[in-house]
Structures are given as structure tokens and as C-alpha cells.
């Protein structure tokens, strides 16, 4: 990288907590007005790098080396000088918009706070400036007196950005700013950031685990792994080098491949099979509004007259933004959520009937049916009891069997299954869930779902929390299991690139209805409904090197 980088220059930066090294001798630079992308999987040290620049490292962490910002050595500044710098010259946008704002202060007060702090503005004029900042990030319709809980995730992230740009910083660090958002919102936020940068000429560090998110915006790229830089350079060159077969840096290439991973599907077997699951006119609703002493609470319909069929061995994607009703629909299929109308049939047998109907009362969901449909959740940690060992966790669904296996048989099955999902039973059985990595936990979750030999597995954002390379491994495992066991999958996800790569058929949900469905390739190549078109357009894609060049 250029040695005369003017705005930010990091040299031989190392960070350690106690004896553990977190970052080891990072060096990079950033010119005023340009964008640096930092890419890496979780634990690679991306966020730590950002916090080191902000000098907001966690307690006990020490930094060595040099961070020069505008010819001032940040590591030599005292706390008071750093406070003058933070929020004024260097600002930061964080990953989680849901928790990054203080719930008890109005958004106006929170944006105005940094203005009052750094520009010494009085309350009234700070609020005026806050209004301008919120207008600038596209929140013209949001009053200053609104509270964070009244806003959507995308709107909250805009507020966080408004806070960050309020004092017109020269460097903005955005740490995974879109990871928690839907694709459509993600595209909007990325556009907004690029737009702001063009207008204000600030420099930006964009951090993401997703190469595609960074690729379109960044001028230069850093690829990090285990606290060190493994690849760096001009974004365009780096990507084309990684894409071409020869002379590629191994890890960047791995990341690139993993993010567009595609299993070899044998989809043809599915089409002619008998219908496995039939969903006919299912609606479901939640109570909303104030509880009443007398009378019935208002209900909001979240799944609205949905019908579809899933065949044995088929991979179906169910996509939509948060709040579209896809998770509620998944809960309906599992019998975890009462339905208002319609019916769900499994191999022609009624599995689920509306609440209040006579059959619902007389025939609770049969054990056999519960066994046939299993689920893997998004959060592989939160969905396990932390005080049980793996053996107990995985064998838990066995109570659904009519003949419960004895202890030895149970152990045998758990061992066989753990081996099947690629874990070594000998050192897995007796351990607790916190001792495993995210990918291993998701493998255990899959084992738990498979132990009762279901015909349909619902994957509710099951790979969303995983890093790209781990995600590719888990998807490969799922594809393999589908072929061997003849499983059908429903991929519930807001991550369209995964759905595009692994499903035969896709259903797009919007406001409780399925607005489009069909063969995955056709839907993604030529979406017909306007919502689907919008959705597909918003997917971040790795630019074709040639195309990118012509762009400039």
C-alpha cells in the first residue's frame, strides 16, 4: 500500500490481552476520502482493529505499535484528547442496530448529544442540527421525540449513522453495519454510506464477513485471519487475482469460493415423488394491542391464506424480510403455532387443524407427525440447554418414538449420528454445548433433528450466523444427508444467496402472503412480482472483475 497515506497510517499494530495475542503486527493505510474494506471470519480480529483505532479496546487489552491519524499518534494521546477525537473526527457505526441505541432516550437527544459535546451547541440548536442529520440519512418522517423501540432495524441503523456523521468526521468506521439487516435494507444502508462519503469526502473503513458486501464499495481490501493480515491490496486486483486460478492467495480464494458455494444437487429425484407436506389455505395471527379486561384482543394476521406442496426429497426456500411471516409459517408447520384456518397434511394425514375446530380438540398433533417434521434453529447456542451434555441433547427427541430404545441402544444411535454429521463421538458425547464452535454446534443441532429419522427438516436461518467457510461445510453436509436419507428441506432465510445456491424451488413471502414461487433459477433470473424483483436486485454480488473495470 502507498507509504504516503495521509489520513490514517497503522504500523506494526499488535494487541494482546494478558498473554493472548489478539492482533499481530498489522500495517495499513488509508487516504482521505477513500474506502478500505476489512474482510475476515468471526474471530479474525476485524472488530478489534476498529476498536484499536477508536482506542476503545476492552479492559485489559494493550496495544503496541503505531496508529497515526492526521499526523497525531493515537496511542500516545491521553483519554481527554481521545474523547475530543471520538465522535468528532473518527466515528463508528456498529453491527447491532437493535442494541446500539439507548432505549430510554429519544433519537433526537441521542443525535444531539455528540453535537452538544463536540461543538458546544445549546440544546435547541443541537436539536436543529440533529434534525438536519436525521434528514440527511433519510429519516425525514421520523420525529426527534421518537424512541428507538418505535423504529425498524433499518431505521435504527440510520439513526446510528446520523449520530456518527453529525459532527462531520473525517473517518467513519462501519463494523458489520448491515449484517443484522434484511437484504433490501442492507442495500439501502450500503447506498447511503457510499452516498454520504461522496458528499462529505470522508474516509471509510467498511468491515464485513461478507466479501460481496465490501467488494463493491472498497478501493482497497484487507483480508484478515487469526489476528493477522493475510492478503491486502487494491480491491479490484485482489478480487481478480483470487478469482483467477493461478497465482491466488489461498485464503482469499477460499473465502471467495465459500461465499458462492453450490452443492451438487440431484434435484431430479424430487419432482416425481409423492407430495410429502400439503399446506392448504393456512392463516395464523397474533394478538396485538392493549390487553382488555372484557372482550377479545385485536389480532394481526401474519400468515394469510398460504398454500403450497412439498415433495419428498425436495429443497424449498422460504424467503422474505423480517416480519414477512416466514418464521411464523415455519412454526405452523411444526405445530408450535395454532392456525386460524386451513389445514396441514403430512402424507395425506391431517397434521394440524385450526384452533376451535372440533378435531383440534379431539386430536392433538400425533407423535408420529411431530417426529416427521424437525427443525434446526438459527442460534445454535441458544437452542440448547447449557447444562445438559451432548448425549442427552441429541437423544432428547427419542421420546417421540413409540418404542423407546434402551440406554445402550440410545448411546449407539447418538454415536452413529454424531459420526454421520462429521463429529468424533468419543470426545463429543460427554461435553457441554459451550465447548463447541458455532459450526460444531450446528452439526449437533442437525444430529438432534435427524435422530428420529424425519422426512422434512425445517432450517430456520440455520446457517445465517455461521462464517462463510463453515457455512459451506454445513451446507455440504446437508446436501449429502438429503441424498442419503431422502430428506426434504425448507430453508427459511433472509439470506438470498444461500437460498439461490442450495434450493430447487423458492417461495417469496411478503406481508404474510406468498407473492411468488417457482423454480429457484427461474425466480432469481426473471422475477415477475415487483417485490421479488426488488429483493433479487438487492442481493450483494461479487463483481465480475471485467465488469468492475468498465465501471471506472
Partner 1 sequence: MSYALRRLTSLLVTLVVASVVVFVVVEVVPGDPASYMLGLNASPDTVQALRTELGLDQTGVARWFDWVSGMLVGDFGVSYTYRTDVASMVVDRIAVSVPLALLALMLAVLIAFPAGLVAASRRGGVADTGVMGFTQIGIAIPNFWFAMLLVLVFSVHLRWFPSGGFPGWEAGLWPALKALTLPAIALALPQAAILARVLRSSLLDTLGEDYIRTARAKGLSSRAALWKHALRNAMIPVLTIVGLQFSFLLAGAIIIENVFYLPGLGRLVFQAITSRDLVVVESVVMLLVFAVVLVTYLVDLAYAWVDPRLRR
Q: What is the binding site for partner 1 (CB under 8 A)? A: 54, 56, 79-80, 83-88, 91-92, 94, 96, 99-106, 113-114, 117-118, 147, 149, 160, 163-164, 290, 293
- The nearer residue to partner 1, 105 or 404, going by C-beta atoms, is 105
- Least separation in angstroms between CB 197 and partner 1: 18
- The nearer residue to partner 1, 56 or 526, going by C-beta atoms, is 56
- The nearer residue to partner 1, 286 or 435, going by C-beta atoms, is 286
- Least separation in angstroms between CB 164 and partner 1: 8
- The nearer residue to partner 1, 85 or 310, going by C-beta atoms, is 85
Q: Grid coordinates in use for 376?
A: 434446526
- The nearer residue to partner 1, 146 or 548, going by C-beta atoms, is 146
- Least separation in angstroms between CB 495 and partner 1: 23
Rounded distance, CA 203 to CA 205, Å? Answer: 7
Q: Which of 81, 24, 18 is nearest to 48 (CA)?
A: 24
> Which residue carries 498489522 as its cell?
26
Rounded distance, CA 190 to CA 138, Å? Answer: 13
Q: Can you tell me whether residue 27 is helix, strand or coil? A: strand
- Least separation in angstroms between CB 62 and partner 1: 17
Dihedral sign, Cα of residue 212, residue 474, residue 441, residue 311: positive
- Least separation in angstroms between CB 387 and partner 1: 22
- Least separation in angstroms between CB 106 and partner 1: 8
Q: Grid coordinates in use for 235?
A: 480491491
Around Cβ 513, how many Cβ atoms within 10 Å?
16
Q: Grid coordinates in use for 33?
A: 476520502
- The nearer residue to partner 1, 103 or 295, going by C-beta atoms, is 103
- The nearer residue to partner 1, 160 or 468, going by C-beta atoms, is 160
> Which residue carries 454421520 as its cell?
420
Contact 28, 229 (CB under 8 A): yes
- The nearer residue to partner 1, 82 or 309, going by C-beta atoms, is 82
Q: Grid coordinates in use for 497?
A: 444467496
- Least separation in angstroms between CB 347 and partner 1: 45
Around Cβ 368, how many Cβ atoms within 10 Å?
15
DSSP string, 428-478: TTTSBGGGS-HHHHHHHHHHHHHTT--SEEEEESTTTTS-HHHHHHHHHHH
Contact 439, 464 (CB under 8 A): no
- Least separation in angstroms between CB 149 and partner 1: 5
Amino acid at each position: 500500500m502507498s507509504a504516503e497515506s495521509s489520513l490514517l497510517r497503522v504500523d506494526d499494530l499488535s494487541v494482546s490481552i494478558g498473554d493472548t495475542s489478539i492482533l499481530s503486527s498489522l500495517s495499513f493505510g488509508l487516504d482521505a476520502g477513500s474506502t478500505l474494506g476489512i474482510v475476515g471470519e468471526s474471530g479474525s480480529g476485524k472488530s478489534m482493529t476498529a476498536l484499536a483505532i477508536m482506542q476503545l479496546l476492552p479492559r485489559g487489552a494493550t496495544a503496541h505499535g503505531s496508529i497515526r491519524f492526521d499526523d497525531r499518534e493515537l496511542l500516545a494521546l491521553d483519554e481527554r484528547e481521545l474523547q475530543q477525537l471520538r465522535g468528532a473526527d473518527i466515528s463508528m457505526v456498529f453491527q447491532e442496530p437493535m442494541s446500539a441505541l439507548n432505549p430510554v432516550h429519544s433519537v433526537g437527544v441521542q443525535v444531539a448529544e455528540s453535537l452538544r459535546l463536540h461543538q458546544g451547541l445549546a440544546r435547541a440548536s443541537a436539536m436543529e442540527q440533529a434534525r438536519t442529520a436525521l434528514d440527511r440519512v433519510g429519516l425525514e418522517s421520523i420525529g426527534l421525540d421518537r424512541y428507538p423501540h418505535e423504529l425498524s432495524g433499518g431505521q435504527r441503523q440510520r439513526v446510528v449513522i446520523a449520530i456518527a456523521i453529525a459532527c462531520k468526521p473525517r473517518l467513519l468506521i462501519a463494523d458489520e453495519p448491515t449484517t443484522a439487516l434484511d437484504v433490501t435494507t442492507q442495500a439501502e444502508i450500503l447506498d447511503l454510506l457510499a452516498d454520504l462519503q461522496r458528499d462529505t469526502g470522508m474516509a471509510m473503513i467498511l468491515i464485513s464477513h461478507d466479501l460481496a458486501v465490501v467488494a463493491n464499495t472498497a478501493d482497497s481490501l484487507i483480508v484478515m485471519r487469526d489476528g493477522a493480515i493475510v492478503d491486502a491490496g487494491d480491491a479490484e486486483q485482489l478480487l481478480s487475482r483470487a478469482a483467477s486460478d493461478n497465482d491466488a492467495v489461498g485464503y482469499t480464494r477460499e473465502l471467495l469460493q465459500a461465499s458462492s458455494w453450490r452443492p451438487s444437487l440431484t434435484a431430479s429425484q424430487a419432482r416425481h415423488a409423492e407430495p410429502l407436506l400439503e399446506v392448504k389455505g393456512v392463516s395464523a395471527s397474533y394478538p396485538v394491542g392493549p390487553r382488555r379486561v372484557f372482550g377479545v384482543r385485536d389480532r394481526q394476521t401474519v400468515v394469510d391464506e398460504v398454500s403450497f406442496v412439498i415433495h419428498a426429497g425436495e429443497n424449498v426456500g422460504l424467503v422474505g424480510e423480517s416480519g414477512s411471516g416466514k418464521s411464523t409459517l415455519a412454526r405452523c408447520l411444526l405445530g408450535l403455532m395454532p392456525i386460524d384456518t386451513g389445514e396441514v397434511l403430512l402424507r395425506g394425514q391431517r397434521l394440524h387443524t385450526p384452533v376451535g375446530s372440533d378435531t383440534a380438540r379431539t386430536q392433538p398433533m400425533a407423535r408420529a407427525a411431530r417426529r416427521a417434521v424437525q427443525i434446526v434453529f438459527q442460534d445454535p447456542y441458544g437452542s440448547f440447554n447449557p447444562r445438559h451434555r451432548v448425549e442427552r441433547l441429541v437423544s432428547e427427541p427419542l421420546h417421540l418414538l413409540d418404542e423407546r430404545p434402551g440406554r445402550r441402544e440410545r448411546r449407539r444411535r447418538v454415536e452413529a449420528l454424531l459420526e454421520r454429521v462429521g463429529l468424533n463421538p468419543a470426545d463429543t458425547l460427554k461435553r457441554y454445548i459451550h465447548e463447541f464452535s458455532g459450526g460444531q454446534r450446528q452439526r449437533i443441532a442437525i444430529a438432534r433433528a435427524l435422530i428420529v429419522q424425519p422426512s422434512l427438516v425445517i432450517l430456520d436461518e440455520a446457517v445465517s450466523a455461521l462464517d462463510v467457510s463453515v457455512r459451506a461445510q454445513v451446507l455440504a453436509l446437508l446436501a449429502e444427508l438429503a441424498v442419503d436419507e431422502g430428506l426434504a428441506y425448507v430453508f427459511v432465510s433472509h439470506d438470498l444467496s444461500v437460498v439461490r445456491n442450495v434450493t430447487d424451488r423458492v417461495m417469496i413471502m411478503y406481508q404474510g402472503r406468498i407473492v411468488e414461487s417457482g423454480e429457484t433459477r427461474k425466480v432469481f433470473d426473471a422475477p415477475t412480482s415487483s417485490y421479488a424483483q426488488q429483493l433479487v436486485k438487492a442481493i450483494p454480488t461479487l463483481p465480475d472483475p471485467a465488469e468492475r473495470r468498465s465501471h471506472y
